[in-house]
Amino acid sequence: MSLDKIIREETRLIILRELSEQPNESATSSALQGLLAEMFMIVREREWVERELEWLKEMEALRLTPAGSVKIATLLPAGKDHLAHRRFIAGVKRTTLPVA
């Protein structure tokens, strides 16, 4: 498995987990970019993060809403199911333990 693939799968999981921890299950692409860089040392341009958000949207794991120059990601049931180990999304790293 390539390092790029590992980073993308990890990033997608981090995004889903972060959304699940937010009171409204939403975050901006800019906030997620900062979190990835500061907490996980995944330093990428916002456009790269938004491409990963688009990928997760295609998997029906989240909804994306344009808001000016950023996008707002909101967790959907498929994303919650992945975190809870009820259904898995290929291309997203699995959590060690289910997230309620």
Maximum Cα–Cα distance across the chain: 36
In this predicted structure, the answer to whether residue 100 has a pLDDT above a threshold of 90 is: no
In this predicted structure, the answer to whether residue 97 has a pLDDT above a threshold of 80 is: yes
Residue 77's nearest CA partner among 56, 48, 55, 94 is 56
pTM of the entire structure?
0.96
In this predicted structure, the answer to whether residue 94 has a pLDDT above a threshold of 90 is: yes
CA dist 43 and 53 (Å) reads 15
- The terminus-to-terminus CA distance of the chain in angstroms comes to 29
Please, what are the domains in the chain?
A: 3-83 (1.10.10.10)
pLDDT in tens, 64-75: 999 999 999 999
pLDDT in tens, 13-67: 999 999 999 999 999 999 999 999 999 999 999 999 999 999 999 999 999 999 9
pLDDT value at position 1?
Answer: 82
Q: What is the mean pLDDT of the segment spanning 2-8?
A: 96
> What single letter denotes the amino acid at residue 17?
R
